[in-house]
Every structure is written in C-alpha cells, then in structure tokens.
Amino acid sequence: MNPVTAFTIIMLIWAISDFVSKKTKSLISSLLVASIIFLVGFKTNIFPEDLLTSSSLLALGQTVVGFIIVHIGTMISLDELKKQWKTVLIGVAAVLGITAFLFLIGSLFLDENFVIAAIGAISGGTISVIIVQESALASGLVLVAVFPVLIAAFQGLIGFPLTSLILRKEANRLKGEYRAGHLKVEKAEVHHDEAKTMLPKALQTTAGTLFIVGVVVMLSIYIDTITNGVLNTFVVALLFGIALRAFGIIKPNILSGIDAYGLMMLAILIIIFGPLATSSVDDLVALIGPLCIAFAVGVSGSVVLSATMGKILGYSISMSIAIGLTTLYGFPGTMILSQEAARSVGENEQEIAAIEGQILPKMIIAGFSAVTITSVVLTSILAEFIH
C-alpha cells in the first residue's frame, strides 16, 4: 500500500478511537475501539495485510520504545513514592498477586506462554504488552503475541465499573470519618516537581532532547548486551529515567512538550496491533476462553493480595482493592474515578474535598508509579521464558 495512504488511514482510525474514548469518559478505551476497527478491517480485507508496515509507523515505534520507557522513568518521583510507601507496597502486592494466581491456578487451564502473556498485560500497560510481544514473535508464537492485545483492549471495561463501585464504598466510609471529625479538609492535588535540568539550553530543544534520550537508550542496550540480557534494556532504561530525574540531570516528563512526542506515542501503540493482521478469525475466537480465564484468575489475585497487604498496613479493604485494580488502567482513569467517587458521595464542597484528598493521591501513585515499575521489571524477566 502507498505509505501516505496507509499513514492517513491509521490516523483516521486513531482519531475515531480517541473520539469514542473521550465521549465515554474512557469507559470504552481507544485501544478497544482501534482493535475492533483493525480486526474488522483485516479480516474483511478492507485493510491490506501490509497496512501497518507500509505506514512506517511500525518501524518508528520499534525504534522509539526505549525512548518512551526513559520518559516513563522521568514521570516517577522518588519523593512521592516515599510519601506513599504504603500505597507502593499494595501496588506491588497486586502485581505479585496477579503473577502468583496465574501461575498457580491459571496454569491449570492455560499454556505457560499464555500465562506469561496474561501477567504482562493484566499487570501493566502498553510497554508490558510490547515486551511480551517481542519475545513471542521472536519465537514465532503469533497467537501468544495477539493474546495480550485482547487483554489490554478489554481491561478498561472490567476495571472501570469495578473500581467505581469499590471507590464509592470507600468514599462512603470516608464521609463517615469526616462527619465524625476524623478527617480534615485537604484539597487533592497531583504534585509535579518543577521542571529542572542540568542540561544546557542548546540540548533542551526537540532535537537536543531526543539526542540525550537516545544516548540513554544506547547505553541501556549496551548494558543489556554486556550482561547477556541479565539486565534487560527496558528495565535499565526505566531505572536510568528515574535516576536522571532524581538527580536533576534531566527534567520530569522529559519528552512532554517536544514536537515529536505525540507521533512517537502513536507509533508505540501501533506496534501492538501488528499480530492482528496475520491472525485468523478462528484463532481469535479460540482465545475467548483463555481471555476469560486470565481475567478471572488475574483480577482475583490482585484483589486478594492487595487487600491482604492493605490490611497489614492499616488501609481499608476497599481502598486497598481499588489500588490493586489500577493495574487494569492508568491515568487519567485513576483521577477520573477518584473525583467521580468523591462527588457522588460528598454532599458539600468540604466533604468532597476531604474524600478526594484521601483517595486521589493513592490512586495516582498506584497507577502511575508502583504498578508501572513492578510490571515492566517483572514482565521483562518472565518474557525471557516464552518459547
């Protein structure tokens, strides 16, 4: 297919997907809408099989995965993690719960490769899915590569309504605490460090920023190579991002605001749709059963371990479970659900502020930091065992 035509079609698909997601307040994710459009298009031959490769976005996405991971690292504040250390531990427990339940129970019904793919997809976001896909496709396992795409597409439909119910229960509990005089009114805010960097002005341009991040990714690849993969490129890139932000060498959210960031993110997302082009309808239908099993077992593991850890640390059961469920979605879902729960239960501005002040910081840290770090590291390790 003509590259310009392919690129234009993909942009139209993503524009439609974003529109639906915004209209439904992210209940229906853009990933789900795009997956359906690509599936229908490929299986009805409306889209040629080479649509993604012809657009050049696939090649771009594979090139800049490391750049995005460094960026994710710079989004993580060590100070915020320290303040919300209990939340971090509950988030980690949720990911470990998903892993343990899928290995212990899920493996009774699913092949080990599908178990690993499910762990990566349910416990994390796009980057974890890409890590799994890379290993699966390297082993010629196309269905294993498709499996996490389907999980990622349907996560929001399960996570949003379930979390909404649980957060409303927590909000009601907090309202009682507030009325009993045990909560003070605090305006919930998401704190971000001031943009600071040691880099000279000449390297704070789009090209300069991409050069610096590119050097970090190259160093990550080198470390992966000399350690024979023991220190995975993606894990090293994530840790570099966290450390470079912490020491003020590069600013928080390093890629935000540069001209290339939006296109890079689109290219990253396009990667995960690649295996859909070569999968048959029968293969996809055959994945419905494993998909249901993976969600049932994985979410159960998240609920059990996050609730247990929360109980040990003094959090309520409902707050702990809600933190664990952030594995099924990310920002801005964590913010939207927290605000909606507070507004649906609070009867005046003071109550709403008090409730939101307790829920929102925990949800943001859980989804933005704790789960991201744990999932990327764990998925990178487990993906080595796909064969």
pLDDT digits (tens, 9 = 90+) for 3-49: 999 999 999 998 998 898 888 876 677 878 888 899 889 888 899 98
Q: Is residue 363 pLDDT above 80, yes or no?
A: yes
pLDDT tens column, 293-331 = 999 999 999 999 999 999 999 999 999 999 999 988 876
| The predicted structure's pLDDT at residue 26 | 66
pLDDT mean over 137-144: 91
Percent above pLDDT 70 for the chain: 95
Instruction: Kindly tell me the sign of the dihedral angle through the C-alpha atoms of 67, 68, 72, 74.
Output: positive
303 in Cβ contact with 321 (< 8 Å): yes
| The predicted structure's pLDDT at residue 185 | 63
Report the chain's C-alpha Rg in angstroms: 21
Nearest alpha-carbon partner for 279 in 137, 171, 182, 155: 137
The continuous run of DSSP H or E covering 236 comes out as helix 233-246
180-189, 255-264, 326-335, 359-368: the lowest-pLDDT one:
180-189
Nearest alpha-carbon partner for 143 in 291, 258, 250, 265: 291
| The predicted structure's pLDDT at residue 7 | 93
Report the C-alpha gap between 123 and 366 in whole angstroms. Answer: 12
What is the chain's mean pLDDT, rounded?
87
How far, in Å, are 210, 253, 321, 355 from residue 71 at the CA level? 11, 6, 28, 31
How far, in Å, are 26, 76, 121, 242 from residue 155 at the CA level? 11, 23, 9, 27
How far, in Å, are 279, 342, 345, 356, 379 from residue 350 at the CA level? 53, 11, 12, 10, 42
pLDDT tens column, 157-193 = 788 889 989 999 999 999 998 888 877 665 545 454 4
